[in-house]
Amino acid sequence: MLEDSGFVDVQIGPAVDTFGGAIGEEKARSFEVYGYAFLARKPG
Amino acid sequence: MVKVVVSGTRPQIVYGESKLDGGRIMNNDLLVDPEVLREQVREKYRDVALEPNGTHHFHTGRPLATRLGYDQVVVDALPDRAVESFAGVGNPFSLRNLVPSEKVVDIGSGAGFDSFIAADQVTATGRVVGIDMTPEMLAKSRETAQILGLAYVEFLEGLAEAIPVADDWADAVISNGVINLCADKQAVFTEIHRVLKPGGTLQFADIANGRPVPLEAMRDVDLWTG
């Protein structure tokens, strides 16, 4: 989707256990939900 | 609720379970009503603004900032009101720090935590514009900026799909846990692309799921914020 919008050089950081220990942890675990950092550049 | 999905082992923003039709779900095939979703998001984050230490299904505040790897020295220097309502899902500065003098837009700036981190990095020669749609968050972030004396940081009411910033204005756009709460992600990325200068960077954090979410669940707006 980022590339579809015209972005290039897309990078994705390592997974972070965003919900570990929170009330939403069980639901997050059931769908293997983690946080990620994304980096992309507009050409030019 | 998860709207960002994983293909193979590499997380990608690919919008819903579009494998059903072999292509992307287009704007006229949104999974939920955008305005209904916005109202639910406003309600949720109104609570986070007013009762940051209340019961939420996600972590908040300083413990969350530590969990996500923010620069502890910078976070420690911020007053509680700048940190306590932070509810991000990752660290938008983990792959790239901002540069002094850069002009930055923070999409879904909430109570301003990431905007204040950005302000520390771009310094007073830069500009930071936070955009949010929740009145209680805007009021809190504006007051905090005033308390901190950050004249180069401002907060505007607006939507991720309609950013109140001129074309090609920003050197960088940041966001944290917000795009997954937007019904039309393609519209958001198109809008971010519009406000970025050529060569500008988009650096954001968001959630992705390793297992597919059933389509019926993705159409249940209550699950998007729950």
- Side chain identity at residue B42, one-letter code: R
- Which chain B residue lies closest to A9 (C-alpha atoms)? B201
A8 neighbourhood in chain B, CB within 8 Å: none
- Which chain A residue lies closest to B209 (C-alpha atoms)? A33
The predicted model scores a pTM of 0.89
Torsion of CA B102, B108, B112, B115, to 10 degrees: -10
HSE-CB at A32 with a 13 A cutoff on CA atoms is: 13
Residue (of B177, B186, B217, B212) closest to B8 by Cα position: B212
What is the model's pLDDT at position B88?
A: 96
What is the model's pLDDT at position B7?
A: 36
What is the model's pLDDT at position A39?
A: 98
Torsion angles phi and psi, residue B20, rounded to 5? -60, -35
Residue (of B158, B85, B35, B209) closest to B173 by Cα position: B158
Mean pLDDT by 10 residues, chain B (226 residues): 39 38 45 91 93 92 97 97 97 98 98 98 98 97 98 97 97 96 93 98 95 83 76
Q: Measured between alpha carbons, how far is B85 from B60 in angstroms, rounded to an integer?
A: 6
Torsion angles phi and psi, residue B11, rounded to 5? -65, 140
The tokens describing A16, both together, are 């972070």
Q: Any CB–CB contact under 8 A between B55 and chain A? A: yes
The tokens describing B120, both together, are 């520390």
What is the model's pLDDT at position B29?
A: 66
Interface of B with A in 100-129 (CB under 8 A): none
Contact B202 A39 (CB under 8 A): yes
Average pLDDT estimate for A22-44? 93
Q: Are B212 and B5 in contact (CB under 8 A)?
A: yes
What is the model's pLDDT at position B108?
A: 97
Question: Residue A21: is it exposed, middle or buried by C-beta count within 10 angstroms (0-12/13-18/19+)?
Answer: exposed
Confidence band, pLDDT 50/70/90 cuts, at residue A1: confident
* ipTM for the predicted complex: 0.96
The tokens describing B159, both together, are 């939507």
